[in-house]
């Protein structure tokens, strides 16, 4: 199995085989919490305009996402696990748009298959990939706003790489490493209510979930995500 670590939408565009799009803070951690709360599907899109158009055409859809880490005023949820953890999303479809994660996901259009990546389901991701045993795996770091290094995404990619190589990576030091990286500072800023500290901890709750999130279909500006198989 060839394992490649690439960055941002540009790297995602080069992905072939199986792509894992990693966005730890917070898109694909939040997506796991949404599916855990009963969501039927998530429609990922790049643009606010497409998200709002989907809502107009399907009023029962719920909007989730961010711009510059802030929930748009007409959205139901931000890009925040703590907003979702108590929500009843049973049977709901969410439309999700973010600066980094959903853009990188949609850029990985040449990959034969794609799943999302985060620490909250890292073990399930590794088990899923080992079971499928693809020739090539691309671990795509979405980055901060899709254009700057995000230490949490790179550490997650390296953690997954070690798991796939049969190693036993040490997670215990990672949360402390991440507390002071630029992409995490907002979680500890009392003047930034859009990024509560609890989200930092919820995004680093290793292996909280035993399922993967799979890309099931895609169009030009959207793709549909579903909760995939449950992994031991």
Read off the pLDDT of residues 189-206 as tens digits, 9 standing for 90 and up. 999 999 999 999 999 999
Task: Give me the pLDDT at residue 147, please.
Answer: 76
Please determine, for residue 15, whether its predicted confidence score (pLDDT) is greater than 50: yes
Three-state secondary structure string covering the chain: CEEEEEEHHHHHCCCCCEEEEECCCCHHHHHHHHHHCCCCEEEEECCHHHHHHHHHHCCCCEEEECECCECCCCCCECCCHHHHCCCCCCCCEEEEECCCHHHHHHHCCCCCEEEEECHHHHHHHHHHHHHHCCCEEEEEECCECCCECCHHHHHHHHHHHHHHCCCCCCCCCHHHHHCCCHHHHHHHCCCCCCCCHHHHHHHCCCCCCCEEEEEEEECCCEEEEEEEEECC
Beta bridge partners of 185: none
In this structure, of 46-50, 107-111, 208-212, 218-222, the range with the lowest mean pLDDT score is 218-222
Question: Mean pLDDT, the chain, as a whole number?
Answer: 95
Say how many CA atoms lie within 13 Å of 123 toward its Cβ: 14
Q: How far apart are CA 65 and CA 98, in angstroms?
A: 5
Please determine, for residue 232, whether its predicted confidence score (pLDDT) is greater than 90: no
Q: What's the whole-model pTM score?
A: 0.95
Categorize the per-residue pLDDT at 65 as very low, low, confident or very high, splitting at 50, 70 and 90: very high
Task: Give me the pLDDT at residue 29, please.
Answer: 98
Give 44-64 pLDDT, tens digit per residue. Answer: 999 999 999 999 999 999 999
177-183 average pLDDT score: 96
Give 109-150 pLDDT, tens digit per residue. Answer: 999 999 999 999 999 999 999 999 999 999 999 998 877 899
166-176 average pLDDT score: 97
| Cβ atoms of residues 4 and 141 within 8 Å | no
Domains present along the chain, CATH in parentheses: 2-230 (3.90.1560.10)
Percent of the chain topping pLDDT 70: 98
């Amino acid at each position: 199995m060839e394992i490649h670590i690439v960055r941002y939408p540009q790297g995602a565009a080069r992905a072939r085989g199986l792509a894992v799009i990693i966005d730890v803070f917070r898109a694909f951690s939040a997506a796991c919490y949404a599916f855990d709360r009963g969501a039927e599907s998530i429609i990922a899109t790049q643009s606010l305009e497409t998200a709002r158009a989907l809502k107009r055409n399907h009023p029962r859809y719920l909007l989730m996402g961010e711009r510059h880490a802030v929930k748009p005023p007409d959205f139901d949820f931000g890009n925040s696990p703590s907003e979702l953890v108590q929500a009843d999303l049973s049977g709901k479809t969410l439309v999700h748009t973010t600066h980094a994660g959903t853009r990188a996901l949609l850029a990985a259009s040449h990959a034969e298959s794609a799943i999302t990546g985060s620490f909250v389901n890292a073990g399930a991701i590794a088990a899923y990939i080992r079971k499928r045993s693809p020739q090539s795996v691309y671990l795509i770091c979405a980055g901060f706003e899709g254009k700057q290094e995000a230490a949490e995404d790179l550490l997650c990619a390296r953690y997954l790489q070690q798991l796939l190589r049969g190693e036993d990576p040490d997670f215990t030091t990672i949360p402390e490493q991440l507390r002071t990286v630029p992409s995490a500072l907002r979680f500890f800023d009392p003047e930034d209510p859009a990024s509560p500290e609890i989200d930092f901890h919820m995004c680093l709750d290793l292996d909280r979930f035993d399922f993967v999130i799979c890309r099931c279909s895609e169009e030009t500006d959207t793709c549909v995500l579903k909760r995939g198989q449950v992994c031991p």
